[in-house]
Each structure stands twice: as C-alpha cells, then as structure tokens.
Amino acid sequence: MTEKISLLKVEDALSLNRKKVVENYKQFVNPGLTTLLSLVDMDRPFARGEGTRVWDYQGNSFLDCLSGFGSLNFGHNHPAILEAIEKVKGRPSLLQSALSPLAGALGKNLAALLPGDLQNTFFCNSGTEAVEAALKLARIITHKPHVVTTKDSFHGKTMGSLSVTGRVKYLQPFGPLLPEISVVPFGDVSQLEAELAKGNCAAFIVEPIQGEGGINLAPPGYLEEARRLCTEHETLMIVDEVQTGFGRTGYNFAMNEIEGFAPDVVCLGKSLGGGIMPIGAMVTTAYLWNKAYGGIEKCLLHSSTFGGNAWAMAAGIAAVNLLVDEDLAKQAREKGDYLLQALRGIKDKYDLIEDVRGRGLFVGVEFSSSKGILNRITDTIGTKVTHDYLGSLIAGDLYNQHNIIAAYTLNNPNVIRLEPPLTISYEELDYLVASLEKVASPKAGMLGIAAKAGIGKLGSVLKKAGR
Ligand SMILES: Cc1ncc(COP(=O)(O)O)c(C=O)c1O
C-alpha cells in the first residue's frame, strides 16, 4: 500500500510559529529572500490587516507605508471590497465560454474614468501582463519593430516588460531580451525625438512619475511633448499607470494632472484589485482595439485564462467606486502636500537626507549615498556594503525601531518610498515624519542603524556570499 502523502491544511499554515514559517519559506519558496528579510529582522508573519495597519502574532501593530508596492490605496481588507467579493460568491468565477456582466461593467467604469477615447479593456492578472498586452498591441497596430523606453523605468519582470525596464541589474542575467529597444533619459524630449524620427518605433512606454526609479517627476511639458511626437511619428504612446493610478498621486490617474492629455494605451494594475484580488488591465481606444483585434478571426489573438474572473472584476468595480465616492485622489493630494512639507522641514536639518520629492502620497526620501557613509559601514564590518543593503538597513530601522513598514525603490535603493494607503490619518503621517527624523538624526546615524539592524550578521552573510 502506498503511504499517504502528508499535506498541510490552511489552518495548519495559519498556526505555524515564526520559526516554522521561516523554515518553510527558506526550504520551499525563496531562500535568498528569507535570508535578506531575516538579516533586518523582517521575517515575522502577520495575523491581521486592516486599513493602514497590520498586526503580528503578538498583537504588535505596524503602519504599512509600502502598501503592497502601491496595491493598497484603499488599505488592507477594505469592507467595501470584501462585500463586493461576497456578492459574487457562488457565481461561476471562470467561464470563458460566456460573457461576464462584471467584466463589461468594469470596462465601462474604466472608460468613464479614463481621459480621452480610452475605451476597450483587456483584463489580465498583473501589471506586467498589462504591459505585455500593450507592447503586443503596438506591434500588431504599427508592424514596426522598435520600442523606446526611459532610463530607470520599471514595467515588470516578464520578458517583454523586462526588455523595456531600465535597470541593468534586472536585465543582464536574462538576455537576450527583446532586441529592438532603445533607452532615453526620462524627461529628455530631444533624445526621444531623435529615436522616434528613425521611423521604426512601434511604441514609446513611460510612467507619468517613475516609481521604482526613485519617485522621479517629469519636467513640466514632457508628457505633452512626448504625446505630440508620438502622434507625429506614428508611434503608440503607452502610459504605465500600474503604480501611479487610482488616486495615488493626488489625481485619479497621474496623467490627469495634465488637462486634456490622453495616451493611446494605458496600463493598470495593483490597486485596481482593491488590495485583495490580483488584476491587470490594458486600455486602448476603440479604433486601435478594432484595428488589432476586431472581428472573430482576431478577437482571441491575445487572451488570459484568469483575466476577467468574477472575483477580480467585483473587487475592481468596488475599488473604482470607492475611489470616486470617497474622493481619494483629493485626500491623497491634501495629505501628500502635508507630508511633503513636513519631510522638507526635516531634510533641511539632516545631511543624511539628500532629497524629498513626490506627488500626493507617492513620496520618495532620498538618503545620501555618499561614499563616506558606505565606507564607514564597510570599515566596521570589513566587507563591501552595496547601496541595496543600505536601503534595506534604513527600512529595517524604521521597521524594528518604529513599527513602520517601508522599502526602497527597486531601481534606486537610496530612496525610501512612502506610499501608505490613501486613508492614512494625519496623526499617522506625523508619526511617520517623527520616526524618519529619528532615523536621519546623527545620534542614531548610519552606524547606529547598522548596529541595531544586525550589521554583524549582515557582514558574515556578505562574506559567505563572497561579496
Ligand atoms: C509602473 C509599473 N509597471 C508595471 C509593474 C509590474 O506590475 P506587477 O508586479 O503586478 O507585474 C510595476 C510593479 O511595480 C510598476 O510599478
């Protein structure tokens, strides 16, 4: 008789202690990530999430300023999102041979919210899939080979999206990627024009504000001029609002800051799922959609098994309604102004903070990457410390000393991103600023942070890793 395979049940998983969770993650999921999080003591499991906060198994609460990399504009477990999902329980969630009333409704809502003639939506399950869909649309529409992207951009980690992502660290190990990509500096119109003028560009893809690049704002007039150039050179303009969308920057979409502006394609994801369901969406005009996929021969040229499933659509419908009903964009704008002003106040006092920038509640605090600080840590542990670890140490200090969850931006580890749920209170913003001030103060200082965050442990791991 064969032995019964021993499998864990959900309730077993939820009752595992921290040590066991770490062991399972290390052995069966991602050993390197487990080590990285353990180094800065960020490997604890959490039992509850509500609004801006999460609670660990001991009942300690943490303020979440990372928000699932910008997926929690509405906070953790918003009751309106949970209710919407509850309403579709019992309906078929996946039935590709039928038309979903929910997908049609969410498509209509998005068309109503988005600027210009953006109307037809392709639903998928993540931001990177939305970008893939946009790149394929540009190819099928223009039959041109080339795509232009911006330095330090981030568009996802699947092959096509990665090809147009502007950080070498993420690209290099996976080449060859899409061959016909050129990278121009973000905000530089003349280099963009030079690329587009070659006449072989299917698309220009750009974030309205670069997120993972370090919360980089475009110079005034940049997107408008890029729009004009794309039209002139018959190139599709793809705006990636995966992270900046749904109120984050003080507008429903960051591009709404520019009156009358509309791209040919927009990519959405993250908070569209209401902080609960995975979702992505690529929206384009009816003209472009029909040119690409109109008619029964072409309507399934691009598709996704889970795209448009009932639970994700219900969450999306509830999310866009919340956005409008609670005017979350306005809340983000007002709270963002308050936060930026307070952070600029502490920046002037401490050398360690090099810059504070952002829009709405999409805020970056750039810490000094001066060699002096890195060298001091390196001298202490006798091992080279890279910028990536510096960002982790600052995030680790916020977490361990102040119960604040934050992280650095993926393409610029000197920048700590602050993107809390848009429902954050002014008291919580004050606490966040006071905590950052403590991290930046010379008394705590970089070496203080390093010591508290277990730099000794970090040193030995770096040595073992041969860095
Ligand atoms: C601007 C932008 N585009 C695309 C993506 C990829 O989204 P996902 O991680 O859901 O694939 C991200 C993720 O951070 C993003 O910030």
What does the alpha-carbon distance between residue 374 and residue 355 come to, in Å, rounded to a whole number?
18
**Distance between Cα 91 and ligand 1 center (Å):** 30
pLDDT, average across residues 413-433: 96
Distance of CA 181 to the CA centre of its chain: 22
Q: Which atom of ligand 1 is nearest to the CA of 156?
A: 6
* Residue 193 or residue 394, greater confidence: 193
Report the residue among 242, 248, 306, 419 best suited for mutation to probe ligand 1: largest number of ligand atoms under 8 A from its CB: 242
Query: Could you tell me the CA-to-CA distances from 293 to 117, 139, 264, 288 in Å, in that order?
Result: 17, 12, 15, 8
CA of 128 to the centre of ligand 1 (A): 6
Pocket of ligand 1 (CB under 6 A): 69, 126-128, 131, 154-156, 207, 211-212, 240, 242-243, 269
Integer Cα distance of 42 and 21 in angstroms: 12
Domain that holds residue 130: 79-325
* Amino acid 409: pLDDT: 87
For the sheet containing 201-206, what is the strand order? 118-124, 280-285, 265-268, 236-240, 201-206, 146-150, 181-184
Is 3 part of any domain?
A: no
CATH assignment at residue 456: 3.90.1150.10
pLDDT greater than 90 at residue 393: no
pLDDT digits over 122-178, tens only? Answer: 999 999 999 999 999 999 999 999 999 999 999 999 999 999 998 888 888 999 999
Task: Specify the pLDDT at position 413.
Answer: 85
Do 291 and 398 fall within a single domain? no
Are the CB atoms for 228 and 254 separated by under 8 Å?
no
Closest atom of ligand 1 to 280 CA is 10
> Can you tell me the mean pLDDT for 341-370?
91
Instruction: Please check whether residues 117 and 29 belong to one and the same domain.
Output: no
Beta carbons within 8 Å of 466's beta carbon, 6+ residues apart: none
CB 165 within 8 A of CB 154: yes
Q: Looking at residues 340-355, what average pLDDT do you find?
A: 92
Give a yes or no: residue 1 inside a domain.
no
The arithmetic mean of pLDDT across residues 81-108, rounded, is 95
Q: What is the mean pLDDT of residues 349-374?
A: 84
Pairing of strands 209-210, 216-217: antiparallel
**Are 310 and 292 found together in one domain?**
yes
- pTM of this prediction? 0.94
* Amino acid of residue 386: T
Give residue 105's identity as a one-letter amino acid code. A
Cβ count within 10 A of residue 259: 7
Percent of the chain with pLDDT over 90: 78
- pLDDT at residue 151, as a whole number: 95
In this structure, what DSSP letter does residue 356 have? E
Residues 18 and 123 in one domain: no
Q: Of all residues in the chain, what percent are helix, strand and coil, respectively (each to 5)? A: 45, 15, 35
Pairing of strands 265-268, 236-240: parallel
Give the position, in ligand 1's atom list, of the atom nearest the Cα of 126.
Answer: 10
pLDDT per residue as tens digits for the range 219-235: 999 999 999 999 999 99
Model confidence at 68, in pLDDT bands (50, 70, 90)? very high
Q: Are 255 and 261 in contact (CB under 8 A)?
A: yes
Sign of the CA dihedral with 111 first, then 114, 118, and 124 last: negative
Q: Is residue 5 part of a domain?
A: no
Alpha-carbon gap, residue 278 to 361, rounded angstroms: 22
Arithmetic mean of pLDDT over the chain = 91
- Given the CA of residue 129, which atom of ligand 1 is nearest to it? 11
- The DSSP symbol for 4 reads P
**In which band, very low, low, confident or very high, does the pLDDT at 466 lie, cut at 50, 70 and 90?**
very low
Residue 294 and residue 260 share a domain: yes
Is the pLDDT at 238 greater than 50, yes or no? yes
Q: Find the 430 Cα to ligand 1 centroid distance in Å.
A: 29
Burial of 464 from C-beta contacts in 10 A (0-12 / 13-18 / 19+): exposed
Q: Whose CA is nearest to atom 13 of ligand 1?
A: 156
Cα of 82 to ligand 1 centre, how many Å?
24
Q: How far is the CA of 461 from the centre of ligand 1 (A)?
A: 30
Closest atom of ligand 1 to 158 CA is 11
Per-residue pLDDT at 314 exceeds 90: yes
Residue 2 placed within a domain: no
301-317 per-residue burial string, b: 16 or more CB within 10 A, e: under 16: ebebebbbbbbbbbbbb
| 151 shares a domain with 49 | no
Domain stops at, among 307, 325, 343: 325
d(CA 400, CA 206): 36
For residue 194, pLDDT over 90 is answered with: yes
> Would the pLDDT of 467 be above 50?
no
Q: What's the mean pLDDT in 364-383?
A: 67
Residue 196 has pLDDT above 90, yes or no: yes
pLDDT of residue 180: 94
Q: Give the pLDDT of residue 450.
A: 57
- Are residue 52 and residue 101 in the same domain, yes or no? no
What is d(CA 187, CA 224) in angstroms, rounded to the nearest whole number?
11
Q: How many domains does the structure of the chain reveal?
A: 2
Read off the CATH number of the domain in which 197 is found. 3.40.640.10
